[in-house]
Chain A
Amino acid sequence: AQSVTQPDIHITVSEGASLELRCNYSYGATPYLFWYVQSPGQGLQLLLKYFSGDTLVQGIKGFEAEFKRSQSSFNLRKPSVHWSDAAEYFCAVGAPTDSWGKFQFGAGTQVVVTP
């Protein structure tokens, strides 16, 4: 069975500093991988996704993520954080053999941005 782990429940970062959010997954083959962001009172917005090919994926809002098969990881990064990046971030995996949209989400990482 697939699983997703986000080791950091909460991260505080200064505005302008870099940010890295960790995501580890467990799955027999290479799954589909996603990062979503959720602002308070809102639904989830897709930041980026990985299906295959280039392991460094660029997303919206200046985010990127790198797929590392050897480490079963898909970490999200942003070089310089803006106050508007304060939100909860979720990593998700989907099995290519499963019905599309049957994603498993991690528990999330809450990002706080300080001035």
Chain B
Amino acid sequence: ETGVTQSPTHLIKTRGQQVTLRCSSQSGHNTVSWYQQALGQGPQFIFQYYREEENGRGNFPPRFSGLQFPNYSSELNVNALELDDSALYLCASSSQGYEQYFGPGTRLTVT
């Protein structure tokens, strides 16, 4: 059974650019949640996708958007990058009501 995978592992972007992060959910899981973890802080919920629909959103601006595909993998897109977007981005997959499994994260640095 393959766990949650994320790509890329690291990337560096310039302020104002756009970025796409990818997450492959664990087999059998239909829900993907995205979190932002700034240095020295706990993860903050960005949004969740359930069966290809957004199913809950945290306090993040609209320039944070996402997609979920029929195979339940997901993308997180961030437009107009700001320095404060530098963080570890975690994705977690689950079936509704059951344990979330987290991926290793993507470290985004915005310069």
- Does B bind A? yes
Q: How far is the CA of A7 from the CA of B28 in the complex (A)?
A: 37
In chain A, positions 1-56 with a C-beta closer than 8 Å to chain B are 4, 36, 41-46, 49
Tell me, rounded to whole Å, the shortest Cβ–Cβ distance linking B108 to chain A. 15
Q: Which residue of A lies closest to B90 (CB)?
A: A43
Q: By the criterion CB–CB under 8 Å, are A99 and B42 in contact? A: no
A107/B45 in contact, CB under 8 A: no
Q: Which of A45, A100, A101 has the most CB of B within 10 A?
A: A101
With a CB–CB cut-off of 8 A, which chain A residues contact B73? none
B60 → chain A, closest Cβ, in Å? 12
B43 touches A98 (CB 8 A): no
B45 touches A103 (CB 8 A): yes
Tell me, rounded to whole Å, the shortest Cβ–Cβ distance linking A71 to chain B: 21
Residues of chain B contacted by A41 (CB below 8 angstroms): 104
Q: A99 to B50, Cβ gap below 8 A?
A: yes
**B4: which A residues are within 8 A, CB to CB?**
43
Query: Are B103 and A43 in contact, with the CB atoms below 8 A?
Result: yes
Q: Among residues 86 to 110 in chain B, which have CB atoms less than 8 Å away from a CB atom of chain A? A: 90, 92, 94, 96-97, 99-100, 102-105
Partner of A100, one of B40, B44, B90, B97: B97
Say if the beta carbon of B58 comes within 8 Å of chain A.
yes
- Does A104 make an interface contact (CB < 8 A)? yes
Contact call B42/A101, Cβ cutoff below 8 A:
no
Q: Check B102–A49 contact: CB distance below 8 A.
A: no
Nearest CB in chain B to that of A110: its residue: B40
Query: Looking at the complex, which one of B43, B48, B92, B104 makes contact with A99 (CB distance below 8 Å)?
Result: B48
A101 contacts B94, C-beta separation under 8 Å: yes
- Assess whether A101 is in contact with B41, with CB atoms less than 8 Å apart: no
Known: A99-B56, A100-B94, A101-B92. A43 touches B33 (CB 8 A): no
The answer for the CA separation of A49 and B98 in the assembled complex, in Å, is 11
